[in-house]
Structure 1
Amino acid sequence: MLLVLMIYSTVVVLALSVPLALLVGRERAQRFGENRASAATFFADLSLREDESGEPRLLESVRRYNDLYGEGIAVVDRTGAARALSGLDLTRADVQQTVAGALRNQRGDLPSSLTPWSQSTVLIAAPVGGGTQVDGAVVLAASTDSARRDVAFAWMVIAAGALLILATVAAIAVALSRWVVRPLTALSSRVHSFGGKFHDQLPIDEVPTTEPAAYDGPPEVRELSRAFDAMADDVEAATAAQRRLVADTAHALRNPLAALRIRMDVLGMRIPDSAHEVHLRTTVEVDRLSSVVEDLLVLAAAETPASSRTIGCELGAVTTDRVEFWSSTMTAAGIDVRLDEPDFEVGLRVAIPEDDLIRILDALLSNATKYAGEGAHVEIGYRTLGTDAMVWVADTGPGVPADELPMIVDRFFRASTAHGAGTGLGLSIVRALTERTGGRLEVSARRPSGLRIELRLPTTDS
């Protein structure tokens, strides 16, 4: 940022100071030319008056001018012969050329601009007479030393002012850049510290080994980007390690729980009647713990990123099959189920594995069977919605309080209206499976009562 500000400030200062310096050179050259042209014209007029009056004042004036200003001057007649000469060599080629031009009524070329390294002497000519009658010429070897010193001094003042402005701008830019970059630097340090804690706590085989990406831009932003990438890799690895830990723990618990359940069944055949109630409650808790372990395994698998190549399935066929599977169970529970299957959506395929879609529909229909209640109506259907497919399951049960709707997809959360056994992981699994394939889950209340769950699944041709 400091580099950008300094480059911009330098360009602006140069854009202002360079034209100003050139303007000073042109203005001083104009004053110099006007002054010396006036002097040459004065001697041309004096030569004419001397011809008319016959008084020999021209030579004296020429010598006095040379003594006073140190500039050579020559007045010649129409043949080029010297009438008055002081400090100027008429035999020089450039002087002869200037005289010839003046005798042709040409006043010579005055400098348009002066610089400290311009020529030290400039020949200025003026014809004696005017119109078509030129009786002679005046040639003045004007010194530019004073004018060049003035220009050099003015340029030094301009350069000093430009440097002062740049120094002021640099001080402001340093303060401004530090003020702007300070949060980035602090954030970068914080990200380094935060990511380092994850990195140090990860197992060796979990530490990311990917090469950092190359970034463009200011150093502070590049450093923050690299730190953020490193932290993101560490967090991703830590999340994967956490999922693996949950899966490994659940898998390790499954076999002991199965063995415990078998022993509980064996024990139930030998316990007295007085302990039968306690045994039954213990068995229910073991079954509930086994369900939690199984759901944790499914959730860990659902939260694992899907492969780049996903084989889709036919939405209508899977939905019809699951409704037929659950219809007897729902009928036994006193629940009426209806499939809203449009005729024109035959062959609609969604980009989700068939096993995942079956697990999603089973979880939703299982929840409806458990919590909708006797006499409720359950509707399941699907439609095409743009490039996605929308699947919904709606019931007319007691529903969920409005303040609890956003939380029912969280792990282990159970609504206050839910009764009976449950782990609180069903909708978490549904959301994880849906989002893994790029879909979206929405939960809303149905009016006047009930719950509606919608799934947006991307469609596919394969």
Structure 2
Amino acid sequence: MRSIRQRLLSWQVGALIVAAVLEGLLTHHLAWGAFNDVRDNSLQLIAHSVVRHGVPPPGDPGAAADALATSQPISSDLGHFTTQIWSPDGRLLYSSLAGGGPALQPPGLHVVPWGGEEWRVYTLADPRQTVQVAVTSADRLARFAEFVPWLLAPLALLVAVMWLLMPTAVNSALAPLDAWGRDLRRRDVQHLHPVATQALPDELVPLGDALNSLLARVDTLLNDQRALLADVAHELNTPLAAIKLQAQLARRSAETEAQRRAAFDELDRGIARATHLVAQLLQIARLEPGVREHRPEPLRLDRLAAEAVGSFSARADEREVDLGLSPSEPLDVMGDPHDLRVLVDNLIDNALRHTPRGSRVDVEVRARDGWAWLAVSDNGPGIAAPDRERALQRFARLRPEQTTGSGLGLAIVHQIVQRHGGQLQLDGAEGGGLRVRVGLPLRG
């Protein structure tokens, strides 16, 4: 059963039936006990009345004999109170049943069998006589059965009214959910504003807040994707236009071999810039939620840094940059190997792109306060303190005159650090330049 409405109705109907049965049994039990108490009190009242008035007067043997002779047979007296009177010496003086009735009992209330039936008997002793009043249990049960429908009628009416009101109550309670459904079905991606939660029941407010939080995240994600697509279109347009222009110049520069070579060198650099931009865009796309599964595993951060330094050594030599790995500690962290390699590559690539020839780039891995810190330092122009926060945004170029970068390197690093629950710090390096520090929790 997947319907909340059906579940609520089923549980309510089931609870109503169980409660009605228990209430009916309890009412029957209490009413039966009270009915017996009232009837037993009636037996006592009759016995005391007989003692006071005498039926017939005790000590008149002739009257007693006449009374016994005129007693009604049992068959004609069933269902009525039966009265018996004994003399002090135990002789039966009077009986409302022909042939007597239940045997004489000690004073008080008793339940005794007689004549194939169960009798409730009350005996009252007096110095002049002993009076015994009795009635059959079957008669008492029959009398009580006449009252049972009237006892259970209010309960049946209550059950019927609740049965009719329960669907209305359930539909009213679920009305906000139905309203949400209608509201959300009418929306599109341009209308992701929060749903109203002011008039909701208290139990549905957390659900409404969670839904609004989800809508806000989806709206933010869509806005980020729209901005990214706009930025990508703009950023790709520039290098592609440059490549097209350089290709045209290469065709026209056919006068000398040197001119042709210079034109093709410019074309190669344009293609390299476009290729680098596309590669970084692919890296950003892979970091989007749901595109690629995040698979952390134990790895040595110092070894990862050493591999990255080795892969960039040829490029560093080409730019005459002293790239090296400072003495580092063997540190284990939990992380996605692919993402962390992208992080280290972008840090080193960013340092090489923005430092002049003959500069120095140092990579170091150290432990401090339970964190593994990866630091990439250079002695280039650096980033001014007010601009460091903006440098983490996508396509942020702090020096528009530079055309070697795309403004995505630090943004990619920032996104990977957030994905791993790490820390990212930008500060100045010794002797000028920039030092980027990435902190990751040590494994264990």
Shorter-chain TM-score range? 0.5 to 0.7
Q: Which residue of 1 aligns with 2:222?
A: none
SS in structure 2 at match of 1:423: coil
1:32 aligns with 2:42: no
In 1, the alpha carbon distance for the partners of 2:121 and 2:57 equals 19
In 1, the alpha carbon distance for the partners of 2:98 and 2:42 equals 22
Asked if structure 1 preserves the Cα contact closer than 8 Å seen for 2:80 and 2:135, the reply is yes
The 5 Å alignment of 1:253-402 reads 265=250, 267-270=252-255, 285-296=270-281, 305=292, 314-320=300-306, 322-323=308-309, 341-342=327-328, 345-346=329-330, 348=332, 351-353=335-337, 357-371=340-354, 380-384=363-367, 389-393=372-376, 398-399=382-383
In 2, the alpha carbon distance for the partners of 1:138 and 1:12 equals 40
Asked if structure 1 preserves the Cα contact closer than 8 Å seen for 2:254 and 2:260, the reply is no
In 2, the alpha carbon distance for the partners of 1:407 and 1:297 equals 20
In 2, the alpha carbon distance for the partners of 1:456 and 1:134 equals 106
Query: What is the Cα deviation at residue 30 of structure 1?
Result: 1.8
Asked if structure 2 preserves the Cα contact closer than 8 Å seen for 1:74 and 1:140, the reply is no
Q: CA RMSD in A?
A: 6.0
Asked if structure 2 preserves the Cα contact closer than 8 Å seen for 1:409 and 1:428, the reply is yes
Q: Which has the higher contact order (CA 8 A, sep 6+)?
A: 1
Residues 1:432 and 1:71: Cα distance change in structure 2 (over 3 Å): same
Residues 1:349 and 1:24: Cα distance change in structure 2 (over 3 Å): closer
**146-155 or 264-273: which moved more?**
264-273
Q: Which residue of 1 aligns with 2:94?
A: 84
Q: Deviations over 1:392-424 (max 9, x none)?
A: 4366854377688377354xx124346512223
Q: Which residue of 1 aligns with 2:105?
A: 103
- Residue 80 of structure 2 aligns to which amino acid in structure 1? E
Query: What is the Cα deviation at residue 391 of structure 1?
Result: 2.5
- Residue 179 of structure 1 aligns to which amino acid in structure 2? A
The 5 Å alignment of 1:43-122 reads 43-44=50-51, 46-47=53-54, 50-51=57-58, 59=67, 71-77=80-86, 83-86=93-96, 88=97, 90=99, 95=101, 99-100=102-103, 102-105=104-107, 107-109=109-111
In 2, the alpha carbon distance for the partners of 1:13 and 1:400 equals 78
Q: Which residue of 2 aligns with 1:416?
A: 398
Q: Deviations over 1:291-334 (max 9, x none)?
A: 32344455566776369696x65422342465577689889989
Asked if structure 2 preserves the Cα contact closer than 8 Å seen for 1:382 and 1:390, the reply is yes
Say which of 420, 425, 443 aligns to 1:439: 420
Query: What is the Cα deviation at residue 153 of structure 1?
Result: 0.7
Residues 1:76 and 1:445: Cα distance change in structure 2 (over 3 Å): same
TM (norm. structure 1) is 0.56
1:155 aligns with 2:152: yes
Q: Which residue of 2 aligns with 1:23?
A: 30
Q: How many residues are matched?
A: 377
Asked if structure 1 preserves the Cα contact closer than 8 Å seen for 2:123 and 2:131, the reply is yes
SS in structure 1 at match of 2:109: coil
- Residue 152 of structure 1 aligns to which amino acid in structure 2? P
Asked if structure 2 preserves the Cα contact closer than 8 Å seen for 1:6 and 1:170, the reply is no
In 2, the alpha carbon distance for the partners of 1:452 and 1:25 equals 88
In 2, the alpha carbon distance for the partners of 1:429 and 1:7 equals 58
Query: What is the Cα deviation at residue 155 of structure 1?
Result: 1.7
**314-323 or 333-342: which moved more?**
333-342
In 2, the alpha carbon distance for the partners of 1:447 and 1:154 equals 90
- Residue 456 of structure 1 aligns to which amino acid in structure 2? L
- Residue 134 of structure 2 aligns to which amino acid in structure 1? V
SS in structure 1 at match of 2:110: coil
In 2, the alpha carbon distance for the partners of 1:451 and 1:5 equals 66
Query: What is the Cα deviation at residue 364 of structure 1?
Result: 0.5
Say which of 152, 164, 178 aligns to 1:167: 164
SS in structure 2 at match of 1:123: strand
- Residue 126 of structure 1 aligns to which amino acid in structure 2? Y
In 2, the alpha carbon distance for the partners of 1:53 and 1:394 equals 133
1:139 aligns with 2:134: yes
SS in structure 2 at match of 1:109: strand
Asked if structure 1 preserves the Cα contact closer than 8 Å seen for 2:247 and 2:267, the reply is no
1:124 aligns with 2:150: no
Structure 1: runs of 5 or more not aligned: 111-120, 195-220, 222-227, 233-238, 240-245
Asked if structure 2 preserves the Cα contact closer than 8 Å seen for 1:40 and 1:125, the reply is no
TM (norm. structure 2) is 0.58
In 2, the alpha carbon distance for the partners of 1:424 and 1:363 equals 11
- Residue 178 of structure 2 aligns to which amino acid in structure 1? R
**287-296 or 261-270: which moved more?**
261-270
Query: What is the Cα deviation at residue 129 of structure 1?
Result: 1.9
Query: What is the Cα deviation at residue 35 of structure 1?
Result: 1.6
Asked if structure 1 preserves the Cα contact closer than 8 Å seen for 2:370 and 2:442, the reply is yes
Residues 1:296 and 1:139: Cα distance change in structure 2 (over 3 Å): closer
Residues 1:414 and 1:308: Cα distance change in structure 2 (over 3 Å): closer
In 2, the alpha carbon distance for the partners of 1:359 and 1:318 equals 10
In 2, the alpha carbon distance for the partners of 1:407 and 1:187 equals 40
SS in structure 2 at match of 1:420: coil
Residues 1:336 and 1:267: Cα distance change in structure 2 (over 3 Å): same
Asked if structure 1 preserves the Cα contact closer than 8 Å seen for 2:365 and 2:372, the reply is yes
Query: What is the Cα deviation at residue 428 of structure 1?
Result: 5.2
Asked if structure 2 preserves the Cα contact closer than 8 Å seen for 1:126 and 1:137, the reply is yes
In 2, the alpha carbon distance for the partners of 1:283 and 1:334 equals 20
Q: Deviations over 1:324-364 (max 9, x none)?
A: 7768988998999886645xx336466554x7655432321
Percentage of matched positions with identical amino acids: 13
In 2, the alpha carbon distance for the partners of 1:370 and 1:164 equals 81
Query: What is the Cα deviation at residue 83 of structure 1?
Result: 3.3
Q: Which residue of 2 aligns with 1:405?
A: 389
In 2, the alpha carbon distance for the partners of 1:152 and 1:317 equals 88
Structure 2: runs of 5 or more not aligned: 190-206, 208-213, 219-224, 226-231
